[in-house]
Amino acid sequence: MKNTSQTTTFKPLEGGTFKFACHPGVSCFTQCCAKLRLLLTPYDILRIKRRLGLDSERFLDQYAESVFEPGIVFPMVLLKMNSQDGYCPFLTSKGCSIYEDRPGACRLYPIGRASAFPTGGDRAREKFFIVTEDHCQGFREDRLWTIDEWLNHEGMYLYNKMNDPWTRIVTSNKPLGPENTLPQKLKMFFMASYNLDRFRQFLFHSPFFEKFYVEGDIRLKLARDDEALMNFAFDWLRFALFGEKTLTPRIDKSVPFGA
């Protein structure tokens, strides 16, 4: 998350602790909620669209815009700011209207997290740093945190658990195969990452289950459990993009890339 109207600096987290608090009594309250380049992860979208009672398509149309970030092959999704004042569309005079389901970047602020996956490893290596902006008065507060306390307080352990398998995909340096297959793979990536409702339709209204072994109890979960569907989508992407053995094809080894 970056506020494009402010000077932002990134500092190493020294000593493993920091002082910070954000509440309506802080003079800069909600100033960090304007003119953001706030990347949304698949789990962010799942939580927010469910909170709003929207399907994936409507959420993406109303609240998001897709972009290509430098150095990243895959399309990313940004939260769309209000065109009139540049503020987050979920901001009210009392603060965040979706606070319990706010994006992971908002939860983590003012901490930044860099993660990398060593070759063959399933757990992310993490580095944390302090994000400071010239308007922020929260660092003047006396509340002292350790990283573990902050991550627990902000619910970040769950968000990291849900997001890390996707982060592993978008930061991978594995080849994507022939260049002529790339447009279709990127289209499929967008659907599986951001449009879970369409991905569910793809699974259940295409020959997918004729081409891959998926046990009946798992199919039932995929039909009604969005978190299970999202994790399955990540396994599918690893198989389809990189050829990893995360799914088991049937005898017919053709791979459906439908949208």
Nearest to 234 by CA among 166, 160, 163: 166
Say how many C-beta atoms besides its own lie within 10 A of residue 104's C-beta. 24
Residue from 199, 191, 194, 250 nearest 223 by CA: 199
Round to whole Å and give the CA distance between 77 and 40: 6
Closest CA to 63 of 135, 47, 73, 72: 47
Q: How far apart are CA 45 and CA 55, in angstroms?
A: 10
Per-residue pLDDT 10s for the chain (259 aa) are 555 555 778 888 878 899 999 988 888 888 889 888 899 999 999 999 999 999 999 999 999 999 998 878 999 999 999 988 889 999 998 899 999 999 999 999 999 988 877 766 667 788 889 988 888 899 999 999 999 999 999 999 999 999 999 999 998 989 998 999 999 999 999 999 999 999 999 999 999 999 999 999 999 999 999 999 999 999 999 999 999 999 999 875 555 555 4
